[in-house]
Amino acid sequence: MRALKLFVSSVLGGACIGLGGVAYLSLENRLAGALFFTVGLFTICTFGFHLFTGKVCYVFQKGGTDPRHLPLIWLGNLAGTGAVAAAVRLTRLAPLAEKAAGLCRVKLEDSLPSVFLLAVLCNVFIYIAVEGFRSNPHEIGKYLSLFFGVMGFVLCGFEHCVANMFYISTAGLWSGRAAGYLLVMTLGNSAGGIWIPLAQAFLRRPDRSE
């Protein structure tokens, strides 16, 4: 039952990111699109759904994410983004698939090292967003961290594996190459999500040489 609840929460998390992706694709202005993409992470943090790129940030923290849960969270996010993408393609919003395809072609024509590094940088922003929401004592500060963190990675063009699940599904561009690129993005997001917490843990350790 616990695994089922985790999966359902992850599906809902993926669906939230899908809704943010719909908002982004629907707007011509990139700044406005980045702003409204934030609705995805805002909803996830508000209702406590599971998102791979957020949960991976806490695998090395006491009481944090169990690494064994990450594959199930990832698959749930894939199912949730796919469901929203399928719904979009069945409505009058189907032309958004062309815009999604344009985004995906840029990503899939990039080199793997570039995609990996852009994914690393993306999850630095995600960590800023989720940790700010989690630890900032001020209500306004919590939500500003979400907006600045998410808008930052979107406007910079960094690679978010769950958002890309949605774009690839909406564009109908799944292939072996797309799956491979998505796995590289996932590895990059994972690396980007853990280095700040690890650095913080190192800096907090008492210096025995003093």
End-to-end CA distance of the chain, in Å?
Answer: 50
Kindly report the pTM of this predicted structure: 0.94
pLDDT tens track for 116-164: 999 999 999 999 999 999 888 888 888 899 999 999 999 999 999 999 9
Residue 149 structure tokens = 């963190």
CB count in 10 Å sphere of residue 61: 13
**Residue 209 confidence (pLDDT):** 58
pLDDT digits (tens, 9 = 90+) for 156-205: 999 999 999 999 999 999 999 999 999 999 999 999 999 888 877 777 77
pLDDT value of residue 201? 74
Q: Taking all residues of the chain, what is their mean pLDDT, rounded to a whole number?
A: 94
Please name each of the domains of the chain with its CATH number: 2-204 (1.20.1080.10)
The confidence score (pLDDT) of residue 208 equals 64
Across residues 94-100, what is the average pLDDT?
Answer: 96
Cβ–Cβ < 8 Å for 18, 167: no
CB-CB contact of 148 with 44 (8 Å):
no
Residue 29 DSSP SS3: coil
Q: Which ranges constitute the DSSP H helices of 90-175?
A: 96-108, 112-135, 139-156, 161-171
Give the pLDDT of residue 130. 93
Contact 182, 164 (CB under 8 A): yes
Q: Which residues are CB-neighbours of 206 under 8 A, at least 6 positions away?
A: none
Both tokens of residue 21? 């992706």
